[in-house]
């Protein structure tokens, strides 16, 4: 039987969830790189709730999210992919809301927020739900679709508890909610597969933000009523079971749903990886980093980082999935623009280089493009056309006994038809073919 204290603590948990979701401020949007389109980009589409949206405790409308989605995008860049991403994560979204939203997108219908989910509190809801046509287009062209959903589906339990329902009624109600979650989510995945049968689809399981009791010597101190924590932990396990069942059924119809495990990664690190101490269940930066790593391992089988930089090196450079070697000349920043040693970048690209002492100019040829930089000149020649630089000009820099030619990274890469992306979160520039 549920004790009175258990009912109160469970009610508190769900009230806390509701307050978090209902009180967040407007922020965020959709994101995509501005890469040139000579090569078809690797498209990432993110769907789901506030975890996909990248919400953190204390965010405002001016905050820039850096959640698991952004880190999956960075991992795509690390793997040499000319990647772009768009994030359709909606704060407070439930599985049924996702199902209805995807159905509308698939059918080419525009919808209003209340048609998707009553009292949907995401302040961006009108904008996000007004993009059903673009959402369908994004899904159709996606190579990878990442997803989180389920945390909001159990909130109605608090109303059931407040009604004075019996233990058996509450237990059955929770099971009914999970059964409905299973049906709604499977419908959503089938709709996605109908729009794009070849996209890789990856969903995360759910984590529990409540820590286990702390042991100090022979004394055990529960940070939350243990019987309630175990009850909620059992719910998390049941959601994972539902995901496994859905994946198995979809596989019979040649629809592959991959499940990335984040739940176990949070166990023992709840206070470290979430803002639960501030009554916010969402991950913090450490938590989102753990999620990003889990998604990357599921998608690519590994997780990549750059080498630790010496104190005098301001940034790292990764070319086609490989970081410039440790012996390479360090990149240089001038007027907030990145410059790289000519020989290092050309070798990394596999391009051809010629140097003219007479004109003090460097010619770089890659595929069908040729770009010529002249030391100190505000102009660059791209495929025989003279173009004014938007960066400071190329320059010579003496390092020890050597004098190296430094070229503007963005201008060189874009002139050669490459994608160049600088991620300030990593202090790393990515150049992909």
How many CA atoms lie within 13 Å of 166's alpha carbon, on the beta-carbon side?
3
Kindly report, residue by residue over 353-379, the tens digit of the pLDDT. 999 999 999 999 998 999 999 999 999
* Residue given tokens 């010529």 in the structure block: 372
pLDDT of 6 higher than 70? no
Global pTM? 0.87
Residue 158 confidence (pLDDT): 61
Kindly report, residue by residue over 218-238, the tens digit of the pLDDT. 878 888 878 777 877 888 899
pLDDT of 123 higher than 70? yes
CATH, residue 276: 3.40.50.1110
Q: Are residues 322 and 213 in the same domain?
A: no
Pairing verdict, β 274-275 and 280-283: antiparallel
Of the pLDDT bands very low, low, confident and very high (cuts 50, 70, 90), residue 2 is very low
Nearest to 50 by CA among 406, 288, 242, 325: 288
Kindly report, residue by residue over 10-53, the tens digit of the pLDDT. 343 433 433 333 333 334 333 333 334 456 899 999 999 999 99
Number of domains in the chain: 2
Answer whether 340's CB lies under 8 Å from 413's CB: no
Of the pLDDT bands very low, low, confident and very high (cuts 50, 70, 90), residue 73 is very high
Residues whose CB falls within 8 Å of the CB of residue 229, separated by 6 or more in sequence, listed in order: 208, 210, 212, 222
Least confident of 53-67, 94-108, 253-267, 292-306: 53-67
Q: Are residues 260 and 342 in the same domain?
A: no
Residue 356 located in a structural domain? yes
Residue 201 confidence (pLDDT): 98
pLDDT of 65 higher than 70? yes
Structural domain that includes position 210: 4-300
DSSP helix/strand/coil, 68: helix
pLDDT of 316 higher than 80? yes
Query: What distance in Å separates the CA atoms of residue 433 and residue 348, rounded to the nearest whole number?
Result: 11
Concatenated DSSP letters for 107-121? HT----HHHHSTT--
Nearest to 413 by CA among 358, 346, 352, 368: 346
Q: Are residues 382 and 406 in the same domain?
A: yes
Residue 96 located in a structural domain? yes
- Quickly list H helices, 49-131: 50-53, 68-78, 95-107, 113-116, 125-129
Q: Are residues 155 and 15 in the same domain?
A: yes
Query: What distance in Å separates the CA atoms of residue 18 and residue 21, rounded to the nearest whole number?
Result: 5
Q: Are residues 230 and 267 in the same domain?
A: yes
Q: Are residues 295 and 154 in the same domain?
A: yes
Residue 236 confidence (pLDDT): 87
Report residue 309 as tokens. Answer: 């930089």
Answer whether 240's CB lies under 8 Å from 263's CB: yes
Q: Are residues 292 and 322 in the same domain?
A: no
Residue 308 located in a structural domain? no
Q: Are residues 66 and 93 in the same domain?
A: yes
What's the mean pLDDT in 190-198? 98
Task: Report the 10 Å Cβ neighbour count for 163.
Answer: 10
CATH, residue 396: 3.30.457.10
Of the pLDDT bands very low, low, confident and very high (cuts 50, 70, 90), residue 262 is very high
Residue 306 located in a structural domain? no
Report residue 212 as tokens. Answer: 């286990």
Residues whose CB falls within 8 Å of the CB of residue 51, separated by 6 or more in sequence, listed in order: 67, 68, 89, 148, 151, 204, 282, 283, 291
Kindly report, residue by residue over 88-121, the tens digit of the pLDDT. 999 999 999 999 999 999 999 999 999 999 989 8
What's the mean pLDDT in 387-392? 93
- Distance between terminal CA atoms of the chain? 62
Residue 144 located in a structural domain? yes
Q: Are residues 177 and 324 in the same domain?
A: no
Q: What is the mean pLDDT of the chain?
A: 88
Kindly report, residue by residue over 195-212, the tens digit of the pLDDT. 999 999 999 999 999 899
Q: Are residues 219 and 355 in the same domain?
A: no
Of the pLDDT bands very low, low, confident and very high (cuts 50, 70, 90), residue 317 is very high
Residues whose CB falls within 8 Å of the CB of residue 216, separated by 6 or more in sequence, listed in order: none
Q: Are residues 175 and 50 in the same domain?
A: yes
What's the mean pLDDT in 53-69? 91
What's the mean pLDDT in 260-280? 95
Nearest to 410 by CA among 300, 309, 335: 335
What's the mean pLDDT in 132-139? 97
């Amino acid at each position: 039987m549920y004790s009175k204290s258990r009912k109160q603590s469970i009610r508190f948990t769900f009230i806390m969830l509701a307050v978090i979701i209902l009180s967040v401020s407007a922020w965020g949007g959709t994101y995509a790189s501005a890469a040139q389109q000579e090569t078809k980009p690797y498209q990432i589409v993110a769907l789901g709730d506030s975890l996909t949206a990248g919400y953190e405790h204390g965010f405002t409308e001016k905050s820039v999210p850096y959640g698991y989605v952004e880190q999956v995008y960075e991992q795509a860049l690390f793997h040499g992919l000319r990647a772009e991403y768009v994030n359709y994560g909606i704060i407070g979204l439930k599985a049924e809301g996702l199902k209805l939203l995807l159905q509308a997108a698939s059918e080419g219908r525009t919808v209003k927020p209340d048609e998707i989910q009553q009292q949907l509190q995401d302040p961006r809801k009108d904008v996000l739900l007004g993009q059903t046509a673009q959402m369908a287009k994004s899904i159709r062209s996606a190579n990878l679709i990442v997803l989180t959903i389920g945390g909001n589906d159990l909130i109605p339990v608090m109303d059931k508890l407040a009604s004075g329902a019996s233990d058996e009624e509450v237990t059955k109600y929770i099971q009914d909610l999970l059964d409905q979650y299973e049906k709604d989510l499977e419908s959503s995945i089938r709709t996605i597969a109908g729009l794009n049968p070849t996209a890789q689809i990856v969903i995360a399981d759910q984590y529990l933000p409540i820590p286990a009791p702390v042991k100090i010597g022979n004394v055990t101190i529960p940070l939350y009523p243990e019987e309630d924590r175990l009850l909620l932990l059992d719910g998390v396990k049941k959601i994972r079971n539902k995901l496994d069942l859905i994946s198995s059924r979809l596989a019979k119809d040649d629809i592959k749903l991959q499940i990335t495990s984040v739940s176990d990664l949070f166990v023992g690190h709840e206070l470290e990886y979430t803002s639960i101490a501030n009554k916010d269940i969402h991950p913090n930066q450490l938590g989102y980093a753990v999620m990003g790593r889990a998604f990357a391992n599921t998608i690519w089988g590994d997780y990549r980082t750059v080498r630790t930089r010496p104190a005098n090196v301001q940034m790292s450079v990764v070319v086609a999935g490989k970081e410039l070697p440790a012996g390479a000349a360090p990149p240089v920043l001038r007027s907030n623009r990145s410059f790289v040693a000519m020989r290092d970048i050309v070798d990394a690209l596999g391009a051809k280089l010629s140097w003219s002492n007479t004109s003090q100019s460097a010619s770089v040829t890659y595929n069908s493009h040729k770009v010529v930089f002249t030391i100190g000149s505000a102009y660059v020649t791209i495929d025989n056309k003279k173009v004014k630089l938007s960066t400071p000009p190329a320059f010579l820099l003496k390092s020890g006994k050597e004098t190296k030619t430094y070229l503007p990274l963005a201008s060189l890469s874009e002139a050669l038809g490459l994608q160049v992306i600088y991620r300030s979160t990593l202090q790393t520039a990515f150049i992909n073919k």
